[in-house]
A = this chain, B = another copy of it.
Amino acid sequence: MAENATGGESLLFLTDEQLRKGIEAMFFAYQGFTADPDRILDTLEYGRAHHRAVHFINRSPGLTVSSLLAILGVTKQSLNRVLRTLFEDGLVEARVGKTDKRERRLHLTEKGAALERSLSDAQRARMRAAYRAAGPQAVQGFRMVLEAMMDPEMRRQYQGLKENNG
């Protein structure tokens, strides 16, 4: 820690080797990040795409299809395939927009909320363990680097979700 603050060392973190390790860390960590939910989803005949939809609908109840599209960054055809099964299975329901009747505002049913909790419990447990292992200082750095890595459009989406405190 101390060496980092001193001028000479401060560029060391931008060496090719450091950058490559960062790239690899992202790769391996993302595997871990998705591993637990994936296992649950497998047993239920769902996939990662369902998880994402359910996550963001839970996060912003009543959001429209086009908002969700913007968040996920996929085509409407792709999203629709997923949403259709979620409707059919009674995990998500769509309510016609009040002011604009073309909109379909998405909500989780109780069943959908239960799945969301199950997935999110697993994922948060891992995140909590990682945070705990690394400490609060590290968590802040983690968030800063990730945020800086996002495309500007996606950063806006990210910051628009609930409190962006922290």
Contacts and interface: CB of A to CB of B under 8 A. Distances in A.
Interface of A: 1, 3-4, 9-10, 12-14, 16-33, 35, 52, 55, 59, 73, 120, 123-124, 126-151, 154-155, 157-158, 161-164, 166
Contact of A30 (B26, B35, B143, B162): B26
A30 B35 CA distance: 15
Contacts of A166: 13, 17-18, 21
Contact of A4 (B55, B120, B140, B146): B140
Contact of A19 (B12, B128, B134): B128
A18 to B, nearest CB: 6
Contacts of A27: 52
A162 to B, nearest CB: 7
Contacts of A30: 26, 30
